[in-house]
């Protein structure tokens, strides 16, 4: 995952999720790639389930595919609010 992060984002560190928008005019928004080792590490550090962390990262990736960005504090806070709402609605917030 670190190699992909470096190649696609020019950031030389491992990341938990990468998204790739689909520019074709079909029904696919794009691809979401989740690093399971990184997700499991984060889940243990944050003391929540692997399922919750993977769900969080999937929703995070989905929001990026829908055009949301987290490069600014305002954008990050907006994404976190939406993510938390979606996870809670689907009982994946634990």
Q: Which CATH number fits domain 1-90: 1.10.760.10, 3.40.390.30, 3.90.70.10, 3.30.2320.50?
A: 3.40.390.30
Local structure of residue 67 (DSSP, 8 states) = T
CA neighbours closer than 13 Å in the CB half-sphere of residue 83: 23
pLDDT in tens, 9-38: 999 999 999 999 998 877 889 999 999 999
> Global pTM?
0.88
For residues 72 and 91, give the distance between their C-alpha atoms in angstroms, rounded to a whole number: 28
| Number of neighbouring beta carbons within 10 Å of residue 36 | 13
Three-class SS of residue 18? strand
Domain boundaries, the chain: 1-90
């Amino acid at each position: 995952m670190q190699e992909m992060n470096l190649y696609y984002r020019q950031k030389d560190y491992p990341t938990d999720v990468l998204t790739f928008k689909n520019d074709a005019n079909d029904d696919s928004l794009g691809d979401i790639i989740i690093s399971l080792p990184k997700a499991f590490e984060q889940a243990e550090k944050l003391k929540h389930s692997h399922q919750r962390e993977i769900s969080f990262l999937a929703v995070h990736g989905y929001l990026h595919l829908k055009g949301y960005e987290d490069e600014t504090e305002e954008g990050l806070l907006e994404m976190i609010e939406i993510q938390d709402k979606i996870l809670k609605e689907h009982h994946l917030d634990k």
